[in-house]
Structure 1
Amino acid sequence: MKIHKEGRKILFFTLLGLVAINLLLYNFNAENNTFNKIFSGVSVVLFLLILQFFRSPYRTLLLHDDLLIAPADGKVVVIEEVEEPEYFKDKRKQISIFMSPINVHVTRNPISGVVKYFKYHPGNYFVAWHPKSSTQNERTTVVVESTAGPEVLFRQIAGAMARRIVWYVKEGDEVSQGEEFGFIKFGSRVDVFVPLDTEIKVQLGQKTKGGETVIAQLKTPPPTIFG
């Protein structure tokens, strides 16, 4: 277990601020010792909550050309056939994973390949399960041409609490399955769009572990025979 780099500065300044406020209370509000003790307890709980949010546990990563692994910890909230309007502009299967504030918020590449498309969209902050969140919330869209052949689109989506999305990829990058491609601060969801002939390996309500849970299997094209 380690603390993710996205949280180190926040944790440092949070700790600094809480210590400063507690010292001021004990120096200038000494007569109200009960309040000071309660505030100290609240400060410890608050710091621990933020600390657990930025945890980054070690994972045994699964590497396989045609298997998609979960891009995030959370719960499967959508499995359906939809029209993907941004890149494919046709019907795809969508798998959505909701990340609560207590989940690990590292987001990982579900498949190995080359980034063919990337775009950041500023937007609103509807709750992550709102139908409009996929198209109107702040979000990033990444399309990877997988080693197995088919293209896979995955999208980080900000929610009501998530106010910053961080990404580490750009068009042309070669990415490896299970590696971090970003981080979403304080709750949200990740959508994955795959071809219609993809075999879904998870069920609605199932809990996922980023980098470990297999969520789908791509149908690979048959080998070309020459001669």
Structure 2
Amino acid sequence: MAGNMLDNRGGGDGGWSFPAIHPEGRRFGLIAIAISLAVLLVLDWELLGWPMLALSAGVFAFFRDPERAVPQGSDLLLSPADGRITQIAEVEWPRELAAVPGLATGPVWRVSIFMSVFDVHINRAPIAGSLRDMIYMPGEFANADLDKASERNERQHMIIERGDGTVVALTQIAGLIARRIVPFVKNGDILAAGQRIGLIRFGSRVDVYLPAGTQPAVLMGQKTVAGETVLAHIGQSRLIEGIAL
């Protein structure tokens, strides 16, 4: 129900419903349906038309935009993307970020989240703060799961600074199928943790660079939910272990 408030005391309607479709995707879905119906009804190519119609439903599903329960805490660094963690490594800064004031010097922890075409593709702010800078870099469209994609693929960096000076950088990376990075925000915007900040069309990757003195609180292969999964506790460094089932 539109406008219905949910809370942790049992208030609101918890029934299942179709998630909202982000406006960015509605036109793509309608275009896909129109082409499918033309193939099916005008050209009478049923063998092709029915699969295309099913694919049209997939286009709408790609742009789904479910609500999220954003955890509260000044030390929390949240996942900006739905997907699977495919890389956790100490790395040097990308060349375009190496000289940005306020970022930690030397190697930093980078957590990479790969988004398949089946994941929600709305990206969200990992922390609350001011969007200090956005840096767009043209590049290739290689497989976003490769390590070299961080420096070769088309990408967009976002640098978010909290009131206490803590800075978190994230990078939206285009891939083989993803051909456009769409921001919802601009330089100087004040962001809330978990706020929608953009999307990458049709499968790709997001890198998160952790602040100094902070280590990941997630594991390789773990599934993440944008705006809900805690990637790290800012200022905390401790070993995290899990069991592969």
Q: TM-score range by the shorter chain?
A: 0.7 to 0.9
Is the counterpart of residue 82 in structure 1 residue 100 in structure 2?
no
- What is the Cα deviation at residue 130 of structure 1? 1.6
Q: How does 1:166-185 map to 2 (within 5 A)?
A: 166-185=182-201
Report which of the two has the higher share of strand. Answer: 1
User: Which residue in the other structure is 1:69 paired with?
Assistant: 78
Which is bigger in relative contact order (C-alpha 8 A, separation at least 6)? 1
- Tell me the residue number matched to 1:149: 165
The structure carrying a bigger helix percent of its residues is 1
Question: Number of residues paired by the alignment?
Answer: 211
- C-alpha contact 1:118 1:141 (8 A) present in aligned 2: yes
- The equivalent position to 1:136 in structure 2, one of 149, 152, 155, is 152
Q: State whether structure 2 residue 127 is matched by structure 1 residue 111.
A: yes
- Structure 1 residue 87: deviation in Å? 2.1
CA distance in 1, matches of 2:55, 2:29: 11
1:213 maps onto 2:219 in alignment:
no
Using the alignment, how far apart are the partners of 2:163 and 2:114 within structure 1? 27
User: Distance between the aligned counterparts of 2:84 and 2:158, measured in 1?
Assistant: 21
Once residues 77 and 137 of structure 2 are traced to their aligned partners in structure 1, the CA distance between those partners, rounded to angstroms, is 24
Identity %: 40
Q: Which residue of 1 aligns with 2:241?
A: none
Structure 1: 5+ residue stretches without partners? 27-35, 221-227
Alignment of 1:163-202 (within 5 A): 163-202=179-218
Q: Which protein shows a greater Rg?
A: 1
Segments of structure 2 that go 5 or more residues without pairing to the other structure are: 1-18, 100-105, 237-245
Q: CA deviation at 1:25?
A: 2.2
1:25 aligns with 2:35: no
Residue deviations 1:28-53 (CA, integer Å, cap 9, x gap): xxxxxxxx433332122211221211
Report the TM-score when normalising by structure 2.
Answer: 0.82
What SS does the aligned partner of 2:81 have?
A: coil
Root-mean-square deviation over aligned CA pairs? 1.5
2:28 matched residue in structure 1 = 10
TM score, norm. by length of structure 1 = 0.88
Question: Is the Cα contact below 8 Å between 2:127 and 2:193 reproduced in 1?
Answer: yes
